[in-house]
């Protein structure tokens, strides 16, 4: 049965940076495509009125992508604003009034997780939760226990089918292209298993630091901010079997199967790092033990992947900003011509940011009389162009009720179960110089590999 679309959009945290940088531009884009014919209500404790709120929205558009005069006019005409403390019942009474006849509102909690229960309770008591959907931002918990508590708290007011947990990384065109490439090409199926794949490396590198968000980063760190959600989900996309159907839960069922097959991470196979200078950032403790870099080895205990190591690396202040996955194939057992040296094996390479690249590393004969080869790469490149932003795609999917790219409660908890053993200082912290590939110890977890693949 097709889900009914939402008939109003509400976002709490309307005065915050997420709203300013991401939500207003996404709403303008949805308005431009004719997908936002509904009231849009911002809720914040900022001391504003509606006129100031509209001016804030216009300033956001001017600073982040530009103003589309027709689309922005439609958006501004639909805006409503409610100001007050989220614990005050009067806020929800005003919200109910602003919603008018809307029967299926979609509430976006762009607020700290500590306020989720307060807002969910206010929505339920005011009748604003009836027939509604709710969108929540990551981080969804700090560990398995807190994620379970958050799920239980939300389930007291909303059914699981109405809860949409955002992971903006998964809604990128490039990540969806990875999924399409895997299951639309027949030549991959015979080799996508432990008989032919030697290892998988995934790197998410950022050249920037914490960009003035030191206080936030002190609360999360690289493992909670990126590994537990973004990168374990990319592993799931690479490792999952074909979903049994086209519905959102068929996709998420397969992800869950892979997540539950992951062996909990081992501190001895994990390296944590912090770039030199991080502790001088605003909001960062002078003796901070929060990691800005993590490298680890992951094992998936299924028939398809037993014995194939998955290596994950993430970090800030690395030499480039780029996300790539390298799937390295085993060399031919009996090379007919010249020997294939380590690092020259066949591979599939997927760049997921800033653009999409799918490539195949192969070997061809080098010029000359000798039957010796050289490595070449066959590349398919797709520039993202003017496609949908991650937030436009996510908000549009939530308003339509398409949950395929949103986290489900059991998937979120399974991912926390995987990373639980390496949280809370279980792994020593090593310093690394900015503009390098992290602590040298990260190379030690590769075992017999020839080295990390460093995206260019």
According to DSSP, the β-strands at 197-206 and 429-432 are unpaired
Torsion, CA 119, CA 120, CA 125, CA 127, rounded to 10: 110
List active site positions: 230
Q: Which residues face 323 on adjacent strands?
A: 204, 353
Strands (E), 141-280: 163-165, 197-206, 270-275
* 405-408, Cβ contacts within 8 angstroms, sequence gap of 24 or more: 405/167, 405/170, 405/171, 405/176, 406/164, 406/165, 406/166, 406/167, 406/248, 407/140, 407/165, 407/166, 407/167, 407/229, 408/160, 408/165, 408/249, 408/252, 408/256
Picking from 219, 203, 211, 363, the residue whose alpha carbon sits closest to that of residue 289 is 219
**For tokens 């020259």, what's the residue?**
344
According to DSSP, the β-strands at 163-165 and 373-382 are unpaired
Q: Quick check: 193 and 415 in contact, CB under 8 A?
A: no
According to DSSP, the β-strands at 322-329 and 347-353 are antiparallel
């Amino acid at each position: 049965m097709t889900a009914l679309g939402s008939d109003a959009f509400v976002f709490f945290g309307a005065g915050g940076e997420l709203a300013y940088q991401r939500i207003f531009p996404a709403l303008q884009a949805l308005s431009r495509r004719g997908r936002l014919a509904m009231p849009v209500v911002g809720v914040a404790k900022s001391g504003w009125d509606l006129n100031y709120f509209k001016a804030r929205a216009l300033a956001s558009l001017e600073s982040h992508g530009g103003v589309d005069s027709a689309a922005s006019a439609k958006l501004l005409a639909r805006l409503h604003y409610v100001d007050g403390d989220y614990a005050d019942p009067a806020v929800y009474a005003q919200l109910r009034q602003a919603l008018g006849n809307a029967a299926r509102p979609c509430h976006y909690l762009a607020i700290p997780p500590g306020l989720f229960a307060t807002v969910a309770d206010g929505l339920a008591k005011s009748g604003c939760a009836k027939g509604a959907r709710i969108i929540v931002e990551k981080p969804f918990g700090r560990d398995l226990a807190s994620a379970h508590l958050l799920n239980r708290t939300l389930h007291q007011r909303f059914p699981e089918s109405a809860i949409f947990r955002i992971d903006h990384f998964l809604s990128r065109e490039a990540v969806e292209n990875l999924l399409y490439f895997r299951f639309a090409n027949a030549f991959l199926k015979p080799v996508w298993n432990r008989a032919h794949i030697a290892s998988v490396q995934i790197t998410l590198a950022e050249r920037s630091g914490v960009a003035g968000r030191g206080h936030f980063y002190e609360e999360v760190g690289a493992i909670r901010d990126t590994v537990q959600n973004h990168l374990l989900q990319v592993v799931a996309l690479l490792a999952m079997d074909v979903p049994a159907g086209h519905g959102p839960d068929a996709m998420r069922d397969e992800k869950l199967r892979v997540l539950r097959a992951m062996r909990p991470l081992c501190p001895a196979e994990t390296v944590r790092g912090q770039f030199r200078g991080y502790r001088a950032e605003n909001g960062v403790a002078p003796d901070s033990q929060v990691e800005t870099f993590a490298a680890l080895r992951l094992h998936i205990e299924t028939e398809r992947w037993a014995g194939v190591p998955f290596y994950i690396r993430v970090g800030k202040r690395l030499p480039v900003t780029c996300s790539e996955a390298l799937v390295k194939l085993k060399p031919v057992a009996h090379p007919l011509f010249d020997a294939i040296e380590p690092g020259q094996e066949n591979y599939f390479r997927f760049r997921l940011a800033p653009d999409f690249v799918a490539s195949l590393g192969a070997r061809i004969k080098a010029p000359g009389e000798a039957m010796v080869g050289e490595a070449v790469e066959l590349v398919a490149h797709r520039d993202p162009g003017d496609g949908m932003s991650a937030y436009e795609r996510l908000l549009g999917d939530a308003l339509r009720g398409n949950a395929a790219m949103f986290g489900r409660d059991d998937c979120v908890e399974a991912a926390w179960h995987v990373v639980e053993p390496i949280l809370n200082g279980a792994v020593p912290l090593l310093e690394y110089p900015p503009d390098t590939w992290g602590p040298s110890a990260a190379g030690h977890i590769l075992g017999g590999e020839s080295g990390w693949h460093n995206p260019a």
